[in-house]
Amino acid sequence: MGKMTGKQWSAGLLAAALLILHTIAVDGQPVYAAEDASYSQAVEQQGATPAYTGQDIVLGADRFQGGEKATVETVDAVLSDENNDAVTVTFDAPMTGRYTVLVRYYPMEGTGLYLRRRLLLDGKLPFNEASFMLYRHWTDSGLPTVNSIGDELKPRPKEVTGWFQQAVSDSLGLYSSPLEFYIEAGTHTLTLEYLDQPAAIASITLCAPAQLPDYATYSAAYAEGANGEYIRFEAENPEYAVWRTEAAAGITNDGDPAVSPPGVTNIKFNVFGGYAWRSSGQSACWQFEVKTAGYYKVNLRIKQSWGGNLPVYRTILVDGEIPFSELQAYRFPYSREWYSEVLGNKAGDFLFWFEPGLHTITMNPVMGELAEVYKELETALLDLSAIVRRVVMITGQTPDPNYDYSIKTAIPGIDKELTAVKERVRACIDRMTVVSGGRTTVMGNQLESVEKQIGEMIRNVERIPRRLTDLNTAVTSLGDWLASLQESPLAIDYFEIAPPAQEIDYSHSTFLEKIWATLRNFVNSFFKDYNALGNTGGQTNTTIDVWVGRGKDWAEILKTLCDSGFSEKSGIAVRMNVIPSGQLSSTGSVNPLLLAISAGNAPDAALGVASNVPVEYALRNAVADLSGFDGFDEVTGNLLPQVLVPFGYDGGVYGLPETMFFRCMFYRKDLVEEYDLLLPDTWDDMYRTTLPRVYENGMQVYIPGWFDMFLLSNGGTYYTEDGKRSALDTKEAYIAFEQYIETYTVYGAPTNANFFNRFRTGEIPIGLGDYGTYVQLLAAAPELSGRWGIMPLPGVKKADGTVDRSTSGYVGEADIILATSEKKEEAWQFIEWWLSTEVQTEYGREIEGKLGAQARWATSNVQAFQSLPWNLDDLDIISGSWEFAKEMPIVPGSYFTGRHITNAWNRCIINHMDPRESLELCVKDINKELKRRQTQFGIE
Amino acid sequence: MNRKVSALVSKYKVGTLFFLPFFTLFVIFVVLPIFTAIGTSFTDYDLLNPGKFVGLSNYRLLLFDDDIFVTALKNTLVFALFSGPIGYLASFFMAWIINQLRFKSVFALAFYAPSITSSVAMSVVWLYIFSSDRYGFANNLLYNMGFINQPILWNQDATTIMPIIILISIWMSMGTGFLVFLAGLQNVSPDICEAGQIDGIRNRFQELVYITLPQMKPQLLFGAINAISGAFGVFDIAVAFAGMPSPGYAAHTLVAHLYDYAFVRFEMGYASAVACVLFLLTFFFGRICMKVFASND
């Protein structure tokens, strides 16, 4: 570069100032592989076909081939599960037309998730959405119980088993009516393929698509009649909320003072739904009794404050059927306050005729009028991604800002394509404004900035390579907003089934009422111990103190299980305190446990401490040796032997892991296929074949800085057998370290990258990751569902031909018993109970049921781990990796090892020191510290 | 005798009552811990078991056998010498300029605000700007301007960590010192300025040096002590940016060193010894300032 003159400097600074305004540093765009055969395409093609108008064609279980027959609750059925994964039936269609399909099913015992099936006609999948879901039904097992600090605890959900009938519908909620299948007259076969969760199928019925009258037509048939009586019930009352299809989308609490019953200073589960009730397919049903026949109007007390001014929609069924078309996607507008919504339209309230007896109202989230916006946005996104890919093909992933790529000639018509995208985005914005009743929406504003960005690019096409990141940002935003369009949260306080003349309360809580509520909460905060999870009573002899280093939700479930499962049986009450997760680690932070021990206030046991804490504390006589307790062998029999290594010292075991993670290689199925990439089995494959091909296509591979993986799979270890000296001066360690450094310096793996985002965009189609990455992809990348998979880590090929994939990273958080405890035996009983297979399995199911897949419980109990709802192929890979898990023992002074390896890495990568020299320095420092510690603790 | 005492008491009673709450808290939470630390520095205390008296061995280790201490000392002095005076001068300069503008309070708030924000919150912003990956703000800017081809690892490269932390701590140093300067500047009596102008002061700079500064000696002293103790106590921001411990001990200040020993290595006694050395160092520089800024009233 050389010296720059003053003029150049000021020009540079000016350019910098201008660029600051335009350059936004964000990560890239999600890449969607083209989806063929979608339902909307099928509708376009078959739209002209008339709907079937005949009788329902019921295909009973006796006509099914390929599945084992069974009788469930006196109904003849055929099984559809892992062993009976495709049942077929032949039928005659009387006329060419559009048919809807109803399935009568009985969900069998499984892992509590949605049942997924695929419908094939004549052996072919008619469209993507024909992979559909059947739902389980849940209800609360009772009323909430109140704990000793006055908060309510959620009752556990229990499954309602039985025979259910459901139409094949799309699981996103884009289409408010069931999917219509195009069938020509003649003989056909229909196959039901099993994807997940077993069920028994009694019949499949082909019906005419429902023709719904509008309300005017429907109510024209109303005769004169009396008006009914006033009925009101709370939406959260389990006597009325008879079932719902998503266990986690149930009752919740709202602190607004106008809610009935109010729960201001204490947690009271007084409403139904809320943010948890937002996805299509999560139906909920309420049942009520009518004593007087008559006309009724229906009022719902609603809160919909999540839409950013956008409304949400629900399909409303009365007695299991949609009475008229206005209820197919009923609109609930956005408001920051609670409001009363009487079902009706501009012409007036809807009136329903109810005879005496039981009636039901069922609600299901759908996208309603936002479905069009969703489709437009999705098309815009796909188009924009395609444009970006074409640009990248010319400029590469990192365009040279000084080169003239001649975009106009290289991609003729790019400005027209970008204009088309811009217009689509504008159409979405306008449509959203209309749908929200003329108000600007939050999402609309965000899309406007995207529109502006695209507009700038159209004006100056040649600057697109410089602004590649902007394009990427635009695509990411579109993707994110697309995901949020699928959410339709709604909270319901109570229902009123009332005579038409009934007065409805339209008011909401006033400003003063809210201030008063806040004030009461504030005063209460001085008296209420929010950390203690109160007890729910019962007879107990002793009490132990346990600190849980996890979030409140996790600890609450643990407490509930403990009260009913442990305290009742053993007579030991557990006083649980929640410490923010991460604060129970010893390195680098002042943690409450340490201070409590110094102050003499230590608990009896602590759950969720970092894995290096037990031995460090044991060296200083602060934790108890667990190996002496009764039942220790049974407990450790459920764990992998390797995960106990970091907790052993001098013959004793000072902690037991409660979580166990894993490491694997993630890959994008679609990109690996498209670019014909090799999934490496060994590191040689990676360096010689995979990396070059990946680089040829402008992508990268993510290899995190796991030195332990390189060290262990090359046959090295951290310490000598006796744990007294560092073993990083052996030949294997040098080879491993050199490989570790060269991965970045010679083979060009990125040293810092946001793997999650770049995996989504397709910039990094292959990468190594762990449990955290897996769960993140599962929960936060729905658009990638089915397009990514895992493989074992690449390993080092040994002389005898086997591949060594050893690595650490399996040990999670641990449980300890403090040495100062006077109730060690009771604390051990608690830990023994907690780590048992039944409890770990139940806990894993509950936490996932409550918080979703992102909270997948990575239990250390091997059997429990395998019974959680992992994808079976993934589970094979994960459990296969267990034989390669090797953990580092903790010796006095071992905290120095990690630190100096990082320093050694820095010296090589940044300061270009020779790897051998760097490692030797590192070993010297580590040995010095180990020696010092050994002297301190009197180890020979 | 009693009358003298009661006269003394009644003269100072109200004043004493005013500062008593602060004084009590100060003694309990500042003075007592200093003595405790001095006491602990002669023991071998690992936070989990009671301490054992070991005499001067901690100090011996510290002064003669600890190479990281030397690095920490060097880092701290570099910090102090750069961010101390520069921050001090910057605060004063800013205060001087703002004093001459309208809307003083608005500007004062704008400059004071960074110092009351939590270091952790600030570190998030700065980490975003100086992120080590390709898309960090600084990297992206330099990349687009063609200065670099590979992202600079700002918070991992030992040579870049120190300057950035100095920059951040200067930015955050407009604290109470700055407000005090502003107040002091506003207290300079205009009569003396007028007298000075009559006596031949020609420009602002002369006015500054000959009139304003001498009038502001107490405030300057306060600002200097603040700046020194702040500069020696840099820790939060260094840890938030570079990690603990920082790569190659590049941002390892004395406070980081003592934190490392106290909570990572469970050697509270040794950490207390480091703390005492730090205390003496700060005290020493503070005394120098007092000599320089001594005012005779």
pLDDT tens digits for range A313-364? 999 999 988 999 999 999 999 999 999 999 998 888 899 988 899 999 999 9
The amino acid at A871: N
Q: Residue B247: which of A12, A616, A902 has the nearest Cβ?
A: A902
* Per-residue pLDDT band at A8 (split at 50, 70, 90): low
User: What DSSP assignment string belongs to A889-918?
Assistant: PP-TTTHHHHHHHHHHHHHHHTT---HHHH
For residue A465, the chain B residue with the least C-alpha distance is: B144
Q: What's the confidence (pLDDT) of residue A29?
A: 27
Q: How far, in Å, CA of B277 to CA of A613, rounded?
A: 30
DSSP H or E stretch at residue A138: strand A138-140
Q: What's the confidence (pLDDT) of residue B171?
A: 80
CB A385 within 8 A of CB A344: no
Q: What's the confidence (pLDDT) of residue A454?
A: 86
Going residue by residue through chain B (297 aa), what tens digit of pLDDT does each one get?
677 777 777 788 888 889 899 999 999 999 999 999 999 999 888 888 888 888 888 898 888 888 889 999 898 888 888 888 888 888 888 888 888 888 888 888 888 887 787 777 777 888 888 887 666 788 878 877 877 766 777 877 778 888 888 888 888 777 777 888 888 888 888 888 888 888 888 887 888 888 888 888 888 888 888 888 888 888 888 888 887 778 778 888 889 898 888 888 888 899 999 999 999 988 998 888 888 887 654
For an interface test with B, the pick among A18, A899, A925, A928 (most B C-beta atoms closer than 10 Å) comes out as A899
Q: What's the confidence (pLDDT) of residue A940?
A: 55
Q: What's the confidence (pLDDT) of residue A26?
A: 29
pLDDT in tens, A245-271: 887 788 888 888 888 888 888 888 899
| pLDDT exceeds 50 at position A224 | yes
* Per-residue pLDDT band at A112 (split at 50, 70, 90): low
The amino acid at B112: Y
Residues of chain B in contact with residue A909, where contact means CB-CB under 8 angstroms, are 153
Q: Residue A19: which of B132, B144, B266 has the nearest Cβ?
A: B144
The amino acid at A807: T
Question: Strand pairing partners for A548?
Answer: A578, A607
CB–CB contact B158 A15 (8 Å): no
Q: Residue A25: which of B135, B244, B245 has the nearest Cβ?
A: B135
A671-677 contact pairs (CB < 8 A, 24+): A671/A31, A671/A699, A671/A762, A671/A765, A672/A765, A672/A766, A674/A33, A675/A699, A675/A765, A677/A765, A677/A766
Report chain A's mean pLDDT, rounded to a whole number.
84
Which of the pair, A148 or B189, is modelled with greater confidence? B189
Q: What's the confidence (pLDDT) of residue A17?
A: 42
| pLDDT exceeds 60 at position A277 | yes
Six-digit token string for B126: 């700065």
Q: Residue B145: which of A16, A895, A906 has the nearest Cβ?
A: A16
Average of pLDDT values for A119-129? 85
| pLDDT exceeds 90 at position A736 | yes
* Per-residue pLDDT band at A877 (split at 50, 70, 90): very high
CB A146 within 8 A of CB A159: no
- Residue pairs between chains A and B whose CB atoms are closer than 8 Å: 87
Token pair 């079902």 in the structure block, residue: A343
Q: Which of A11-15, A509-513, A523-527, A869-873 has the lowest mean pLDDT?
A: A11-15
Determine contact: A745 vs chain B, CB below 8 A: no
Identify the CATH number of the domain defined by range A39-207.
2.60.120.260
User: What DSSP assignment string belongs to A285-331?
Assistant: EEEEEE-S-EEEEEEEEEE---STT--EEEEEEETTB--SGGGTTEE
CB–CB contact A750 B145 (8 Å): no
Q: Residue A620: which of B48, B132, B249 has the nearest Cβ?
A: B48
**For every residue of A693-756, which 3-state class applies, written as one string?**
HHHHCCCCEECCCCHHHHHHHCCCCCECCCCCCECCCCHHHHHHHHHHHHHHHCCCCCCCCCHH
Token pair 């000016």 in the structure block, residue: A14
Average of pLDDT values for A66-80? 85
How many CA atoms lie less than 13 Å away from A814 in the CB half-sphere?
28
Residues of chain A in contact with residue B139, where contact means CB-CB under 8 angstroms, are 25
Residues of chain A in contact with residue B141, where contact means CB-CB under 8 angstroms, are 16, 19-20, 23
pLDDT in tens, A447-459: 888 888 788 888 8
Question: Strand pairing partners for A118?
Answer: A131, A193
Average of pLDDT values for A172-200? 86
* Per-residue pLDDT band at A238 (split at 50, 70, 90): confident
ipTM reported for the complex, 2 dp? 0.72
Determine contact: A20 vs chain B, CB below 8 A: yes
Q: Residue B247: which of A621, A895, A903 has the nearest Cβ?
A: A903
| pLDDT exceeds 50 at position A31 | no
Closest to B270 in 3D by CA, of B24, B47, B81, B14: B47
Distance from CA of B166 to the nearest CA of A (A): 21
* Per-residue pLDDT band at A587 (split at 50, 70, 90): low
Average of pLDDT values for A536-558? 79
The amino acid at A771: Y
Identify the CATH number of the domain defined by range A663-799+890-937.
3.40.190.10
* Per-residue pLDDT band at A707 (split at 50, 70, 90): very high
How many CA atoms lie less than 13 Å away from A446 in the CB half-sphere?
16
Q: How far, in Å, CA of A800 to CA of A779, rounded?
A: 41
Helix, strand, or coil (residue A200):
strand
Closest to A646 in 3D by CA, of A476, A920, A895: A895
Residues ≥6 apart with Cβ < 8 Å to A128: A35, A37, A38, A39
Strands A766-770 and A701-702: parallel
Confirm whether A215-366+488-504 and A663-799+890-937 share one CATH topology: no
CB A137 within 8 A of CB A331: no
- Which class does domain A532-660+811-884 fall in? alpha beta
Q: Residue B264: which of A27, A587, A622 has the nearest Cβ?
A: A587
Q: How far, in Å, CA of A678 to CA of A693, rounded?
A: 8
Token pair 């009896």 in the structure block, residue: A604
Query: Hey, what domains does chain B have and what are their CATH numbers?
Result: 67-292 (1.10.3720.10)
Q: What's the confidence (pLDDT) of residue A111?
A: 67
Q: How far, in Å, CA of A91 to CA of A93, rounded?
A: 7
How do the domains of chain A map onto residue ranges? Answer: 39-207, 215-366+488-504, 371-485, 532-660+811-884, 663-799+890-937
For an interface test with A, the pick among B120, B134, B257, B270 (most A C-beta atoms closer than 10 Å) comes out as B134
Q: How far, in Å, CA of A893 to CA of A887, rounded?
A: 17
| pLDDT exceeds 50 at position A19 | no
Average of pLDDT values for A97-125? 85
Determine contact: A622 vs chain B, CB below 8 A: yes
Q: How far, in Å, CA of A573 to CA of A540, rounded?
A: 6
For residue B245, the chain A residue with the least C-alpha distance is: A899
| pLDDT exceeds 50 at position A24 | no
For residue B250, the chain A residue with the least C-alpha distance is: A903
| pLDDT exceeds 80 at position A839 | yes
pLDDT in tens, A793-832: 999 998 888 899 999 889 988 999 999 889 999 999 999 9
Interface residues of B toward A, Cβ cutoff 8 Å, are 46-49, 131-137, 139-141, 144-147, 151, 153, 156-158, 239, 244-245, 247-249, 263-266
Q: What's the confidence (pLDDT) of residue A537?
A: 53
Fold for domain A215-366+488-504?
Answer: Jelly Rolls (2.60.120)
